[in-house]
Amino acid sequence: MNVNKHLRIGAWLIAGLGLFAAAQAQELVSNGGFELTSNGANKGVGAGSTLLTGWTATDGAYDFVFSDINASIPASPTALSLWNQTNGGGGQASNSPTGGNFYAFDPAVATPGPITQTLKNLQAGTYQVSFDWAVAQQYGYSSGTWGSWTVQLGSAAAQATATVNNPSRSFTGWMHETMTFTVGAGDAVLSFLGKGGPQGVPPFALLDSVSVVAVPEPSTYTLLLLGLAAVAAVARRKSRAGGPSTA
Ligand SMILES: [Ca+2]
């Protein structure tokens, strides 16, 4: 029997196991894309609302779910649209990079509140939170605005995105953000609170594609690296044994 062949298969098996374990990073957020709603899109979400399946909104009044950056929200709590491609807005207003619905939040109200979801039975460890976000402005208002998102997971310290400036009647473009939080075992509240200003010229912080996955244990990577090293070693051995003389 070919010993090299057996070695090679063994090495690939180890590498494969490591890769499999690394790929098991399971999505922990439900409805992170805001596609599931109990009553459609292009609506106000509102305080205490569970319109967005899996999420609880605690904002005073001024948060919305859009299906399209160019959509107009009829009246709930007020008729509203964002500066966009159809009403003279600048800045290349665009839909979320992952498509479908997104959450829009006016952070410059009297009592802004976060949108939250409780992640159940987490193991103690480090978790990667990622999302897409942008800053827009309410149609009909002028003046430069600014915005950001503050994110919290469990009792870990809150983290914030950069604060970005959005020129009058404009749109910042979508940005992708990744953060890591280390939490203890048990339930953990995932919370997004938009920040922004100034008041009265409504800035809007947009959010989509929320994801939380466990960061793989170092042992997973060790297994993967061991396997790949073994594959390389077998290949080297084979090349030396069977290859033409390279002296
Ligand atoms: Ca979406």
Using the mean position of ligand 1's atoms as its centre, give its distance from the Cα of residue 88 in Å: 24
Q: Residue 189 contacts by C-beta under 8 Å, 6 or more apart in sequence?
A: 116, 117, 118, 119, 152, 153, 154
Using the mean position of ligand 1's atoms as its centre, give its distance from the Cα of residue 111 in Å: 26
Bridge partners, 133 (sequence order): 175, 207
Instruction: Looking at mean pLDDT, say which of 54-63, 156-165, 233-242 comes out highest.
Output: 156-165
Q: How large is the average pLDDT for residues 110-131?
A: 95
State the number of CA atoms in the 13 A half-sphere of 224 facing the CB. Answer: 12
Using the mean position of ligand 1's atoms as its centre, give its distance from the Cα of residue 231 in Å: 41
Using the mean position of ligand 1's atoms as its centre, give its distance from the Cα of residue 124 in Å: 29
CB count within 10 Å of CB 128 equals: 15
- C-alpha distances (whole Å) from 152 to each of 186, 188, 195, 217 are 15, 9, 14, 22
| DSSP secondary structure, 30-71, as one string | SSTT---BSS-SSEE--TT---BTT-EE--SS-EEEES-TT-
Using the mean position of ligand 1's atoms as its centre, give its distance from the Cα of residue 33 in Å: 4
Split at pLDDT 50, 70, 90, the class of 247 is: very low
pLDDT of residue 77: 66
Using the mean position of ligand 1's atoms as its centre, give its distance from the Cα of residue 198 in Å: 27
Q: Is the pTM of this model over 0.75?
A: yes
pLDDT of residue 223: 74
Split at pLDDT 50, 70, 90, the class of 234 is: confident
Using the mean position of ligand 1's atoms as its centre, give its distance from the Cα of residue 211 in Å: 11
Using the mean position of ligand 1's atoms as its centre, give its distance from the Cα of residue 30 in Å: 12
- What DSSP character marks residue 87? T
- C-alpha distances (whole Å) from 162 to each of 85, 97, 134, 151 are 25, 19, 11, 12
Using the mean position of ligand 1's atoms as its centre, give its distance from the Cα of residue 170 in Å: 21
Using the mean position of ligand 1's atoms as its centre, give its distance from the Cα of residue 43 in Å: 15
Residues 238 and 233: their CA atoms lie apart, in Å, by 9
pLDDT of residue 177: 98
- What does pLDDT average to over the chain? 89
- Of 61-75, 94-108, 117-131, 135-149, the one with minimum mean pLDDT is 61-75
Using the mean position of ligand 1's atoms as its centre, give its distance from the Cα of residue 102 in Å: 5
**E-only strand ranges, the chain:** 43-44, 56-57, 63-66, 102-105, 115-122, 125-137, 145-153, 159-160, 164-166, 175-183, 186-197, 203-214
Question: What residues flank ion ligand 1 with Cβ within 5 A?
Answer: 33, 100-101, 208
Using the mean position of ligand 1's atoms as its centre, give its distance from the Cα of residue 107 in Å: 20
Using the mean position of ligand 1's atoms as its centre, give its distance from the Cα of residue 52 in Å: 11
pLDDT of residue 130: 98
Using the mean position of ligand 1's atoms as its centre, give its distance from the Cα of residue 35 in Å: 6
